[in-house]
Structure 1
Amino acid sequence: MTNPYGGGYPAYEPGSNPYDSPSYGTRPSYDGLSIAAFVCSLTCCAAPIGIGLGIAGIVRTREGRRSGRWAAVTGLVLGVLVVVLGIGFVVFAAVMGSRTVWEDEARVGQCIDLDFLDDPIKASCSEPHAGEVIWAGRFDADQAGAFTTVSRAAFCLALPLDPAYRSAIESGEYDVRVETDAFDEDDPDSGDAFFCYIDRGDGEKITGRIRDAGEQVGA
């Protein structure tokens, strides 16, 4: 075929036309590992996996070879953050658990403080503290039945308390509280562990044991 305007057509050379390129107008495919890293980093249990997948995704998406680098980077950062927060929570829970006064481990005369949840924690009797355990044991059938019908003070006064504790309650200067491991704390069953403790009604701290007549208010 001749060119009507003169001269011949230039010879076609494969690859000389950019539209012939198979990659023209296409985008790199998304990297599956990068997406998986992002998804895994959103859950506590899979966050460590998200860290590993995020590192792999960053390698696989460098220089634009695959799309999804943002997912790999985000997955790595979130995974590290979730793991660090998880470790911090475990350490915090372990520390709080070691300080908590558990119902089946409490003992009479034990001095306590209250944490930010108003739960009893161990305290030194030689330092200012919130209160003192006055009874520890397990509900029998009669005690479990009476617990829902009387005040906490009346319930604990019905127990064979040390005279010093009985006098402290009857003075009206102390509030009486009960901690129980019952599923429903207001409706315990026979066999559930519990302890009674008293603290100052006016919020003052105590130094020394009430039972030993060494109690000082506001020290």
Structure 2
Amino acid sequence: MTNPYGGGYPSYQPGPNPYDGSSPTAGPPAYDGLSIAALVCSLSCCAAPVGIGLGIAGIVRTGGGRRSGRWAAVTGLVVGAVVLLAGIGFLVLAGIMGSRTVWEDEATAGQCIDIDFLDDPIEASCGDPHAGEVIWAGRFDDDLVALYDDFSGFEFCGELPGLEPVYLDAIRSGDYVPRIEIDTFDEGEPERGDAFFCYVERGDGEKITGRLRDLAGTTGA
């Protein structure tokens, strides 16, 4: 058909369909907020379980390219799982170590101990080589606080009233070095009622074999 006004009819060019999602002007998919939240939460030990849950949700929400940020969801899921497992492992280890720790208010003279990697005393068998032996355990009273003020920690253990002769001889011989553990924030200033115990280690750094009071022919209290 001829255009009576001159010129040909313009050819029909269909425009983009706003409903088929193929518009050339459409921008990239929006970032998924849950995926970003999963990554952030996974970096915190306490929020790691939340990060795992958000990571799973983020993977679902970013499937098929509906939203960006799938990498954050996957990373949050993996990191959250690793942090959670590490936290559980730490709690189990802390529980095991805590059950073996020799506490100041529970120690007894003649008890054999080892020292763990945190420099804390732990229970040990006297039949096996061990790091030390408790020589005195109790609580500070006014007299012991005054005695502690007069002597250093090492000397204090050798001046304790009622210290068994075998332990006193071990300290005086120089073969054994006394140590002290005090249940207080500041060991330099113990107060009345603070629990503590003294123990001895070999001066040459070697392990003790047997129990000092048994090797000296004495009996435990």
TM-score normalised by length of structure 1: 0.89
Give the counterpart letter for 1:186 in structure 2: G
1:165 is matched with 167
Counterparts of 1:165-204 in structure 2, within 5 Å, are 165-204=167-206
Residue 67 (structure 1) aligned with residue 65 (structure 2): no
Equivalent residues of 1:34, 1:68 under 8 A apart: yes
Cα deviation for residue 106 of structure 1 reads 0.6
Flag the 1:193–1:142 CA change in 2: closer, same or farther, 3 A: same
Residue number in structure 1 paired with 2:29: 28
Q: Which moves more between the two structures, 148-157 or 53-62?
A: 148-157
**Given that residues 158 and 178 in structure 2 are in contact (C-alpha distance below 8 angstroms), is that contact kept between their aligned partners in structure 1?**
no
Aligned ranges 1:101-140 → 2 under 5 Å: 101-140=102-141
Measure the CA separation in 2 of the matches of 1:72 and 1:143: 61
Counterpart residue number, 2:150: 149
Q: Sort the Cα spacing of 1:148 and 1:21 in 2 relative to 1 into closer, same or farther, 3 A.
A: same
Which stretch shows the higher mean deviation, 68-77 or 116-125?
Answer: 116-125
CA displacement, residues 36-62 of structure 1 (integer Å, 9 cap, x when unaligned): 111111111111011011001001101
| Identity, % of aligned positions | 62
Report the alpha carbon displacement of residue 13 of structure 1 after superposing the two structures with TM: 3.5
Shift of 1:6: 4.6
Q: After the TM superposition, which of the residue ranges 86-95 and 111-120 deviates more from structure 2?
A: 111-120
Q: Which amino acid aligns with 1:213?
A: L
Contact 2:100 2:122 in 1 (8 A): yes
Displacement of 1:214: 6.1
Aligned to 2:109, what secondary structure does the other structure show?
A: coil
- Report the aligned-residue RMSD: 2.4
Q: Is the 8 A contact 1:3 1:9 kept in 2?
A: no
Checking the alignment, whether the CA contact within 8 Å between 2:58 and 2:70 is kept in structure 1 is yes
The aligned residue for residue 57 of structure 1 is 58
**How far apart in 2 are the matches of 1:127 and 1:176?**
20
Shift of 1:154: 2.8
Equivalent in the alignment of 2:48: 47
Q: Residue deviations 1:64-90, cap 9 Å, x none? A: 100111110111011001101101110
Aligned length: 213
- In structure 2, stretches of 5+ residues that fail to align are none
Q: Distance in 2 between matches of 1:43 and 1:25?
A: 37
Segment of structure 1 superposing worse, 72-81 or 24-33: 24-33
Structure 1: gaps of 5 or more residues: none
Q: Distance in 1 between matches of 2:43 and 2:187?
A: 35
CA–CA separation in structure 2 for the residues paired with 1:158 and 1:206: 23
Please show how residues 90-101 of structure 1 align to structure 2 within 5 Å.
Answer: 90-101=91-102
Give the whole-Å Cα distance in 2 for the aligned partners of 1:3 and 1:72.
Answer: 63
**Contact 1:208 1:214 (8 Å CA) reproduced:** no
Cα displacement (A) at 1:145: 2.9
Between the aligned partners of 1:45 and 1:31, the Cα distance in structure 2 is 23
CA distance in 2, matches of 1:155, 1:32: 63
Decide whether aligned partners of structure 1 residues 98 and 16 sit closer, same or farther in structure 2, where only a CA change above 3 A counts. Answer: closer
For residues 109 and 78 of structure 1, what CA distance do their matches in structure 2 show?
48
Give CA-to-partner distance per residue, 1:153-201, whole Å, 9 cap, x none.
4312222111211111111111000000111011111100000000100
